[in-house]
Amino acid sequence: MKTLRIGGGAGYSGDRIEPAVELAEHGEIDYLIFECLAERTIALAQQAKMKDPALGYDPLLEARMLAVLKTCSEKGIRIVTNMGAANPLAAAAKIREVAVSLGLNKLKVAAVAGDDVLEQLRAGDYLDDEGEPVKALGARLLSANAYLGAQPLVDALAAGADVVITGRVADPALVLAPLIHSFGWAMDDWQRLGQGTLAGHLLECAGQVSGGYFADPGYKDVANLARLGFPIAVVGEDGSLEITKVAGSGGSITTATCTEQLIYEIHDPAAYQTPDVVADFSQVSMTQIGPDRVAVAGASGHPKSGMLKVSVGYIDSYVGEGQISYAGSGALARAQLAQDIVAERLQLTGVALTEVRYDLLGVNAIHGLELAAQAAEPYEVRLRVTGRTDSLREAVRVGNEVETLYTCGPAGGGGVTKSSREVVAIRSTLLPAAQVQPAIHFEEI
Amino acid sequence: MKLREIAHARAGDKGDISNLSLIAYRAEDYALLERQVTPERVQAHFQGVVHGEVQRFLLPQLGAMNFVMQRALGGGVTRSLALDAHGKSLSSALLDMDIG
């Protein structure tokens, strides 16, 4: 039976690069995918593009291509990635430039565009997931990108692309597209699309399925995380699926690591929504068939909804933050006094806050007071004050009120840091798939 | 006994929703998880953190379950003021639950 080996080369924009090189050199893979677009990434990329029309793609695109493109080209490994972010066309031009600089004399790059539906949302009447009109965001609206399905990526591969670079597409589509292209699966073969989506879901966070984000010393030990190997999906024409990695790399692939990643962020396992299929993972089973090798079976699917999810990025607010540490005996009491002083100061000086939060790091910052109530008093405590405002100017004042604790607050406070930033937040809405028109552009040498 | 002795967990996020898996190390412990780690208990365990409904999905063949917790991430990952805005560490808090 025909099989395809697909490597998961990145699980987020800033991920390690050497594991992808290892996959290209030693993974005997046919495809290398890089999933680099978190919910907010594309809105931030859109801001970069507004400042410079030649930017707006993944900041590590050039570094990643420099690291893998030559090897992939020599071995015939095709690359599929969403590193195009807000500007797949500029990204494709950059990849061509990298290829030329590496001395490659033949490469076809396909940029998949059409996910950007900002003008459509600006002009029409659409409600977001909180029932608010998207239009009402006005000038604060930054970006709107529909989650495209696998079809335009399949078309790009059929046209002979060595590299397919996209903006917003459903993460599993990066894996599903090579499978549909190579095996000729029908776009309504729900069972195989479900199993292919499962392969994509397991690969899309890269190291998170091969022992990364898993270790808990004494309970779940994982060897050699500094050299974590990224995963390879071995998929058969019939949809059969095995997850493995390069022999000798760090990490571990067991039914436990695969189960954690299977359930990760899927909500209802029987109805995992994607643009291509409503995947059903509720009957999935796993078998350890060798060291670092797990067979995963039993996914199926149901017809897609016909609606595409759209991520809407907008400028939500501004946040100012200040932190200061206290240590030794009485640290907690002094940190609490510092918190009370800052709370009074923010009120006294009239800082226009719409929301404020006080945390004692090491005491209650992560889960609040209820869960931390039983814990012993720590040796050191760090106060963190965060406030939301409507302008950057006001946000700056939050950190300033923490900083003045140096000379005006409790004894022994040290290590102040302060920051302020614009908050780009995300809402979502739905668009009929027919209203979104993907387009493919090619760059060649 | 703490849940941590027999199970492991991973947290993920979507907007203001936390998605928390719970997986038995050994298949024979799954029944205990299903009996004792009910959505109601999880809701009570995360009082003050999770402000919405808690739903539980069962995957017995994997010895696993998935909790979907609404209004759990301070208004949403992209705008929350929390230090752990993604709620990644909720998994460890769940494993601190006492079971018997």
Q: Please choose, from the candidates A67, A70, A71, the residue with its C-alpha nearest in 3D space to the C-alpha of residue A10.
A: A67
Using the 8-state DSSP alphabet, how is residue B89 labeled? T
Q: Per-residue pLDDT for A266 more than 70? A: yes
- Average pLDDT of chain A is 95
A225-263 per-position pLDDT tens digit: 999 999 999 999 999 999 999 999 999 999 999 999 999
C-alpha–C-alpha distance, residues B95 and A367, integer Å: 13
Task: List residues bridging with A380 in a β-sheet.
Answer: A327
- Assign B100 a pLDDT band (cuts: 50, 70, 90): confident
Q: Per-residue pLDDT for A100 more than 80? A: yes
- Average pLDDT of chain B is 94
pTM over the 0.90 mark: yes
A274-326 per-position pLDDT tens digit: 999 999 999 999 999 999 999 999 999 999 999 999 999 999 999 999 999 99
- ipTM here: 0.95
Q: C-alpha angle A307/A309/A315, rounded to 5°?
A: 145
Q: What is the pLDDT of residue A366?
A: 75
First to last CA, chain B: 6
Mean pLDDT of B13-33: 96
Q: How far is CA A424 from the centre of its chain?
A: 15
Provide, as residue numbers in chain A, all residues whose Cβ is less than 8 Å from the Cβ of B64.
259, 263
Provide, as residue numbers in chain B, all residues whose Cβ is less than 8 Å from the Cβ of A426.
15, 76, 78
A34-64 per-position pLDDT tens digit: 999 988 888 899 999 989 999 999 999 999 9
Q: Per-residue pLDDT for A374 more than 80? A: no
Q: Per-residue pLDDT for A183 more than 80? A: yes
3-state secondary structure of B69: strand
Do the chains contact at A371 and B96, CB–CB below 8 Å?
A: yes
User: What's the per-residue H, E or C state across chain A?
Assistant: CCEEEEEECCCCCCCCCHHHHHHHHHCCCCEEEECCCCCCHHHHHHHHHHHCCCCCCCCCHHHHHHHHHHHHHHHCCEEEECCCCCCHHHHHHHHHHHHHHCCCCCCEEEEEECCECHHHHHHCCCECCCCCEHHHHHHHEEEEEECECCHHHHHHHHCCCCEEEECCECCCHHHHHHHHHHHCCCCCCHHHHHHHHHHHHHHCCHHHHCCCCCCECCCECCCCHHHECCEEEEEECCCCEEEEECCCCECCCCHHHHHHHHHCCCCCCCCEECCCCEEECCCCEEEEEECCEEEEECCEEECCCCEEEEEEEEEEEEEEEEEEEEECCCHHHHHHHHHHHHHHHHHHCCCCCCEEEEEEECCCCCCHHHHHCCCCCCCEEEEEEEEEECCHHHHHHHHHHHHCHHHHCCCCCEEEEEEEEEEEEEEEEEEEHHHCCCEEEEEEC
Q: C-alpha angle A79/A82/A88, rounded to 5°?
A: 100
In chain A, residues 348-367 whose CB comes closer than 8 Å to chain B: 355-357, 359, 361, 365-367
A84-94 per-position pLDDT tens digit: 999 999 999 99
Provide, as residue numbers in chain B, all residues whose Cβ is less than 8 Å from the Cβ of A359.
82-83
Q: Please choose, from the candidates B87, B71, B75, B89, the residue with its C-alpha nearest in 3D space to the C-alpha of residue A319.
A: B75
Q: Per-residue pLDDT for A331 more than 80? A: yes
Mean pLDDT of A214-219: 96
Q: Please choose, from the candidates A57, A250, A280, the residue with its C-alpha nearest in 3D space to the C-alpha of residue A163.
A: A57
Do the chains contact at A367 and B93, CB–CB below 8 Å?
A: yes
Please tell me the total number of residues recorded for chain B in this structure.
100
- Assign A372 a pLDDT band (cuts: 50, 70, 90): low
In chain A, residues 116-155 whose CB comes closer than 8 Å to chain B: 129
The answer to whether A260 contacts chain B (CB < 8 Å) is yes
- As to burial, measured by CB atoms within 10 angstroms (0-12 exposed, 13-18 middle, 19+ buried), residue B23 is buried
- Which element (helix H / strand E) includes B97? none
C-alpha–C-alpha distance, residues A347 and A37, integer Å: 39
Q: Per-residue pLDDT for A373 more than 70? A: no
Q: What is the pLDDT of residue A54?
A: 94
Do the chains contact at B83 and A367, CB–CB below 8 Å?
A: no
Provide, as residue numbers in chain B, all residues whose Cβ is less than 8 Å from the Cβ of A388.
81
- Residues of B engaging A, defined by a Cβ cutoff of 8 Å: 4, 8-10, 12-15, 17, 19, 21, 23, 25, 45-49, 57, 59, 61-64, 66, 68, 76-79, 81-84, 89-90, 93, 96
Q: For residue B68, is it left (φ>0), alpha (ψ between -120 and 50) or beta?
A: beta
Percent of chain A exceeding pLDDT 90 equals 91
Q: Per-residue pLDDT for B73 more than 70? A: yes
Do the chains contact at B48 and A220, CB–CB below 8 Å?
A: no
- Assign A370 a pLDDT band (cuts: 50, 70, 90): low
Please tell me which of the candidates B19, B78, B90 has its beta carbon nearest to residue A39: B78
The answer to whether A270 contacts chain B (CB < 8 Å) is yes
Please tell me the total number of residues recorded for chain A in this structure.
445
Q: Per-residue pLDDT for A103 more than 90? A: yes
Do the chains contact at B57 and A357, CB–CB below 8 Å?
A: no
A334-367 per-position pLDDT tens digit: 999 999 999 999 999 999 999 999 999 988 887 7
The answer to whether A418 contacts chain B (CB < 8 Å) is no
Q: Which residue of A has its CA nearest to B18?
A: A265
